[in-house]
Amino acid sequence: MSERLQKVLAHAGVSSRRSAERLILEGRVSVNGSIVAALGTKVDPARDAIKVDGKRIAAPPAGHTYLMLNKPRGVVTTLSDPEGRPTVKEYLRGVKARVYPVGRLDFNSEGLLILTDDGALARDLMHPSRGVEKTYLAKVKGQPDPDVLLRLSRGIPLDGRRTGPARVRLVRRADNAWIEITIGEGRNRQVRRMFQAIGHPVQRLRRMGYGGIGLGRLPVGHVRALSDDEVGALARAAGRVVARPRRGRPRSS
């Protein structure tokens, strides 16, 4: 099936679609050995040899489904539950593909959850070596002091080893503060346990970002398909980067 070249590049994780257009205009993309410098060129990623800066890109998986769910609290991140609790499957009515959650959000957590039938991408996103970033908004008990948040950002002992560096930001001062935290690890209930360790247990936890894409304004309990640029962002977060756009203005075609 033929698709626009910039769409194929974005879906393969090379760059965003806009940046892919810049790559094409700069003459950095070739198809079957010929430089392509015109937008709108169509290719068949399953048959054509597409290269960026001389490096062949992997053909994006065909026919896969990529979804985002704003998971409510009180829902299990599985497709079935022996205890009879609500599962994310209840929010997938009408989805024909057999999609599975990428990672987990615990029963009392909410927010961004990726679901896909692309097993290879899911494995890469969850592999500890990738360090895929996840951003959370946490309402914690009390008001942590700045030095405590600094210590949290530098890493604290957990399970006998220190957590990795984190980005931590006070979002709202209150009797029970709201803190934004971004981590590149995926230990079990890690964010909750980190705040527990500094004496400010989590009262509410919402995941806002995963692998470079954000929850945005998706209502709680709703599902939507990911855009090509979002799929590309996940591919890059999983380590499938091929090329980076150069700085400077693109030359005319």
Which residues are the active-site residues? Answer: 106
Q: CB burial class (10 A; 0-12, 13-18, 19+) of residue 184? A: middle
Q: Where are the alpha helices (DSSP H) in 49-159?
A: 119-126, 146-154
Rounded to whole angstroms, the Cα distance separating 180 from 41 reads 42
Closest CA to 212 of 236, 192, 185, 177: 236
Report the run of H or E that residue 187 belongs to, with start and end: none
- CA 4, distance to chain mean position in Å, is 24
Cβ-in-10-Å burial (0-12, 13-18, 19+) of 219 comes to exposed
Q: Which two tokens stand for residue 53?
A: 């800066």
Whole-angstrom Cα distance, residue 176 to residue 140? 6
d(CA 221, CA 161): 36
